[in-house]
Amino acid sequence: MPKINANIQFMFNEYELLDRYDAAARAGFEGVEIQAPYSEPIEAIQERLERNGLKHVIINLPVADPETGQNNLPLLPDKVGIYQERVALGVEYAAGLGCIGVNTGIGPISEGADPEIAYKTYVDNLRYAASELEKVGVLALVEPINTKDQPGFLLHTSSQGMKAISDAGHPNAKLQYDFYHMQIMEGDLVDTFAELLPSIGHVQFADTPGRYEPGTGEINYPFIFRKLDELGYQGWAGAEYNPSGRTEDSLDWFKAL
């Protein structure tokens, strides 16, 4: 069985943020991830991790444009300085929490923006983030996201994610492969995952349609998890789904493992 961690941005929302760490541990998870830990002091999160024996697997950079609120700061050539400030904050939290990686953010292309300039800005920003995160032993992660949920997203297939990593040319940049997003965009999940395995730094999953827990949709997750083992994947797999009811009642798939 792969190492399964809970995404407590999506799961355990019945609880306040810090209490989600306790709830995840009670449910049997040994690792957690969260997009936005920044509302809490690092020391407060560290205390919950230590209390519960949890590994903090990944966090996300905060990439909302302060002017528009759109989560596409890495694509904006006139706001590189702000992005670099966000990288510094992510480095501080990731190092303090002992993360293996940081989702460095992408976002949709702004209306009227030049796609080539947006892409070049993104690649340059990715290279910078990879370099800064490497200093504290943390991976810079690139996550393609489906255009059904987020129209206009710059990178929306695994091949596009790999091209950006190649163009950035930094060994600390790795792919964050999300089975939910890639089922929507390209399918052929197991063969694609096997091909890209050397470049994959983290895995996430949810079922589709609906982005609910495994067993509610079309993806055969018992088969997927077996294949991760057979292929020798050694990393974590983050459950990033919207529980169809109370989180604790959505864990039959996890108990079965």
Q: Point out the residues that are catalytic.
A: 143, 240
Element (H, E) at 21: helix 17-26
Q: Which two tokens stand for residue 15?
A: 């609880």
Q: What are phi and psi of 177, to 5 degrees?
A: -95, 115
Q: Write the burial class of residue 190 (CB in 10 Å: 0-12 exposed, 13-18 middle, 19+ buried).
A: middle
Q: Which two tokens stand for residue 215?
A: 């067993």
Q: How many CB atoms lie within 10 A of CB 243?
A: 19
Q: Which two tokens stand for residue 55?
A: 């590994």
Intra-chain end-to-end CA distance of the chain, in Å: 7
- Half-sphere exposure of residue 28, counting CA atoms within 13 Å on the CB side? 12
Q: Which two tokens stand for residue 10?
A: 């999506």
Instruction: Give the Cα separation of 137 and 32 in Å (integer).
Output: 18
Local structure of residue 234 (DSSP, 8 states): -
